[in-house]
Amino acid sequence: MITHEEKLNLLNTAVEASKNSYCPYSNFRVGAAVLTKAGNIYKGGNIENVSYGATVCAERVAIWKAISEGEKEFTAIAVIGPGTSESYPCAMCRQVMVEYGLDWLVISGDAEGNYLGEMTIRELVPYPFVPSILLGDNK
């Protein structure tokens, strides 16, 4: 469980990350900040490419930065998009998140870092495709 202050700090870090977003095609600036169980924060902005399939979402940038530093256990991720609407991860990012557990928190905010809502990965992905399925355990 994380405190409200920690949630706001993650949101503000996601806002900071969005400033480094590279989005010349969509102009849809997204930022993410992931908190690991070790207490470290990694941030990422979306990175677009003229070959759209090569584009990477902010959430995956932040998660992969953490993983590249040896971290694989997460407590929460904050996601902010442009404007004042809630921003939640796309389906591809949700699947990446499932890989690292179902009980960590996704915090949604707006471009100013205002808290707009939260839910767990389990709530975002009620019927997950989990690693154990590949081993024949369909539970």
118 is catalytic: no
Question: Which position among 5, 6, 59, 69 bears the catalytic label?
Answer: 59
**22 — phi, psi (to 5°)?**
-115, 100
Token duo for residue 26: 């969509």
Active site residues: 59
